[in-house]
Amino acid sequence: MDDAIAVRGLVVDRGRRRVLHGIDATVPRGSVTGLLGPSGSGKTTLMRAIVGVQVISAGTVTVLGAAAGSPPLRHRVGYLTQAPSVYADLTVRENARYFAALHGRDRSEADRAVADVGLASAAGQLVGTLSGGQRSRASLACALVGKPELIVLDEPTVGQDPVLRADLWARFHALAATGTTLLVSSHVMDEAARCDRLLLIREGRLIADDTPAAVRAAAGVDDLDEAFLRLIRASQPDQSGQAR
Amino acid sequence: MSPRILAATVARILRQLRHDKRTVALLVAVPTVLLTLIYYMYADQPAPPGQPSTFDRIALVMLGFFPFIIMFLVTSIAMLRERTTGTLERLLTTPLAKTDLLFGYGIAFGLAGAVQAGIASAVAYWVFGLQTAGSSALVIMIAALNAVLAVALGLLCSAFARTEFQAVQFMPVVVAPQLLLCGLFVPRDEMAGWLQAISDVLPLSYAVEALQEVGAHAEPTGTMWRDVAIVAGAAVLALVLAAATLRRRSG
């Protein structure tokens, strides 16, 4: 019960292709866990399974002690899809207020969520007129507004400037300090160092589930990018000599 | 279903519509422009003795048909946008029930259809001198009900469309046969038996019959109320089927 997420033997097929090959992973409560891996490695599929919108072939996904996607969890889990999923023909504020209303939160909480992602000055703007980075922050505000216990964020920092990225990571850690659990995917290795724990995934297989320090130690290098490369090679001894 | 979430969803959909001023203008103007065309098309046609003028006969049916076709298209595209932009996937991870979303669309676009029908009816009665034996309020009610039916059918059909191209193709499939067989072009009882049988299962046939009852009788008739109940039942059935085809989990 200490784990916010417990994944056991998760297999997902999309069409005839196996996307996840038996994932076992846990995410502790009140932490920021990074889900790292290249594009197409299965990060989004794993996140969709955790929020309960993915059809799974085998295995179990337990979230906050209940089966992933079960109705009581819909009040307790926030999900940010990879593409900004907000209404382009509503203003930032109107979007936040709608998602706030779905979670039974009031207007002031919606306005606070907008301010928290640095969009207070653009709150009255239509989302369709925002830049890509602003639009994804508007989407982020809608994921945070319900004050969920578990927040699943699919690449929340793509396209953000470095200062904003640092702000967002500071906010993620502030949320974790209050007991919220965050699962954050990224394909940028420098973000891995900001996480309390890392899940490294490649071609639908988990190749590491540890703290950044332990990942570095296991690979014997300080640079996480290099460590990830070594772990991949170690997991595929037959291909270790091939250039990729 | 939760009244709070349903109300928030209706308000959200109407707000989206309000921001799209061109769509609002089209919703209001297009039926009026088309009624004008119909008026001048039939202006010189003599009325058959003892029967309503051709304009009265056709305009009355069109008042019900315009909200039907327009709301079907608007809903198909709106729901497809929910799917393709990912908002639907996100909504399905929230406490929103599927019926909150579907009835939210039914209510919001039903209201829009009622406003549209009200304006088109005002023009038909006051500008073009439309004559009906029954009350104009009943005409507007039936037209608004048609809008709700169209929204329900649009929500159901959008489940079977993956792209905008596919979604608009459902318009001729769903709308055209209902218009052809509703009794406007050939009275239903003069059609071949198999055509009548098809007409009998198409909800628009009953909406048109209800409008014709209002056109011919000063007081609401039993047939009209039966037809209204059938159209409302078809709308609820389509919404329930749409909820059944909407899956929280996808592949």
Q: Indicate the pTM of the whole model.
A: 0.89
Q: Which residues contact B116 (CB under 8 A, 6 or more apart)?
A: B27, B28, B31, B66, B67, B70, B147
Partner residue opposite A85 with nearest CB, options B12, B87, B96: B87
Is A175 a domain residue? no
pLDDT digits (tens, 9 = 90+) for B78-114: 999 998 899 999 999 999 999 999 999 999 999 999 9
Is A129 a domain residue? yes
What pLDDT is attached to residue A244? Answer: 43
* Residue B109: closest CA among B65, B60, B68: B68
Residue B98: helix, strand or coil by DSSP? helix
Does B84 contact A at CB distance below 8 Å? no
Q: What is the mean pLDDT of residues B66-88?
A: 92
Kindly determine whether residue B94 and residue A51, on different chains, have CB atoms separated by under 8 Å. Answer: no
Is A133 a domain residue? yes
In which domain, by residue range, is A139 found?
A: 86-147
Q: How far apart are CA B235 and CA B164, in angstroms?
A: 23
**Closest approach of A15 to chain B, Cα-based (Å):** 8
**Closest approach of A161 to chain B, Cα-based (Å):** 24
What pLDDT is attached to residue B48? Answer: 76
CB contact residues (below 8 A), chain A span 49-68, against chain B = 51-55
Is A128 a domain residue? yes
CB contact residues (below 8 A), chain B span 218-247, against chain A = none
Is A181 a domain residue? no
Does A45 contact B at CB distance below 8 Å? no
Is B145 a domain residue? yes
* Residue A151: closest CA among A85, A51, A83, A79: A79
Does B49 contact A at CB distance below 8 Å? no
Q: Report the chain A residue with the minimal C-alpha distance to residue B247.
A: A53
Q: How far apart are CA B139 and CA B224, in angstroms?
A: 11
Is A109 a domain residue? yes
Q: Which residues contact B190 (CB under 8 A, 6 or more apart)?
A: none
Residue A68: helix, strand or coil by DSSP? coil
Q: Which residues of chain B neighbour A69 with C-beta distances below 8 Å?
A: 93, 248-249
Q: Give me the amino acid identity at A230.
A: R
pLDDT digits (tens, 9 = 90+) for B182-202: 988 899 999 999 999 999 999
CA angle at B215 for the pair B209 and B220, rounded to the nearest 5°: 80
What pLDDT is attached to residue A240? Answer: 43
Q: How far apart are CA B103 and CA A16, in angstroms?
A: 36
The per-residue pLDDT string of chain A (244 residues; one tens digit each, 9 = 90 and over) reads: 579 999 999 999 998 899 999 999 999 999 999 999 888 899 999 999 999 999 999 999 999 999 998 999 999 999 999 889 999 999 999 999 999 999 999 999 999 999 999 999 999 999 999 998 899 999 999 999 999 999 999 999 887 888 888 889 999 999 999 999 999 998 787 788 899 999 999 999 998 899 999 988 888 888 888 888 888 888 776 544 444 4
Q: How far apart are CA B95 and CA B31, in angstroms?
A: 38
Q: How far apart are CA A99 and CA A86, in angstroms?
A: 10
- Model confidence at B155, in pLDDT bands (50, 70, 90)? very high
Q: Name the least confident of A194-198, A238-242, B7-11, B54-58.
A: A238-242
Q: How far apart are CA A69 and CA A39, in angstroms?
A: 25
DSSP state of B127: I
Does A79 contact B at CB distance below 8 Å? yes
Is A104 a domain residue? yes
Sign of CA dihedral A90, A93, A96, A98: negative
Q: ipTM score here?
A: 0.89
Is A157 a domain residue? no
Q: Which residues contact B74 (CB under 8 A, 6 or more apart)?
A: B23, B27, B109, B112, B154
How many domains does the structure of chain B reveal? 1
What pLDDT is attached to residue A158? Answer: 83
Q: Name the least confident of B47-51, B64-68, B163-167, B222-226.
A: B47-51
In which domain, by residue range, is B147 found?
A: 3-167+235-245
Q: How far apart are CA B152 and CA B112, in angstroms?
A: 14
| Token pair listed for A46 | 């794993």
Measured between alpha carbons, how far apart are the two ends of chain A, in Å?
Answer: 41
Q: Which residues contact B181 (CB under 8 A, 6 or more apart)?
A: B188, B191, B195, B198, B199, B202, B205
Does B12 contact A at CB distance below 8 Å? yes
Write the burial class of residue B165 (CB in 10 Å: 0-12 exposed, 13-18 middle, 19+ buried): exposed
Q: Which residues contact A229 (CB under 8 A, 6 or more apart)?
A: none
Partner residue opposite B248 with nearest CB, options A52, A84, A85: A52
Q: Report the chain B residue with the minimal C-alpha distance to residue A14.
A: B251
Partner residue opposite A52 with nearest CB, options B5, B93, B251: B93
| Token pair listed for A16 | 């005839």
Is B178 a domain residue? no
DSSP state of A126: B
Q: What is the mean pLDDT of residues B217-241?
A: 95
How many domains does the structure of chain A reveal? 1
What pLDDT is attached to residue A237? Answer: 60
Phi, psi of A186, rounded to the nearest 5 degrees: -160, 155
Count of other CB atoms within 10 angstroms of residue A128 = 13
Is B175 a domain residue? no
What pLDDT is attached to residue A127? Answer: 96
Kindly determine whether residue A77 and residue B5, on different chains, have CB atoms separated by under 8 Å. Answer: no
Q: What is the mean pLDDT of residues B123-149?
A: 94
Kindly determine whether residue B8 and residue A102, on different chains, have CB atoms separated by under 8 Å. Answer: yes
- Model confidence at B31, in pLDDT bands (50, 70, 90)? very high
pLDDT digits (tens, 9 = 90+) for B202-221: 999 999 999 999 999 999 99
What pLDDT is attached to residue A1? Answer: 52
Q: What is the mean pLDDT of residues B140-160?
A: 93
> Which of the pair, B245 or A188, is modelled with greater confidence?
B245
Q: Report the chain A residue with the minimal C-alpha distance to residue B5.
A: A102
Q: What is the mean pLDDT of residues B59-73?
A: 93
| Token pair listed for B141 | 């009610």
Runs of H (alpha helix) within chain A: 43-51, 92-102, 107-116, 132-144, 162-177, 212-219, 224-235
CB contact residues (below 8 A), chain A span 138-157, against chain B = 142-143, 146
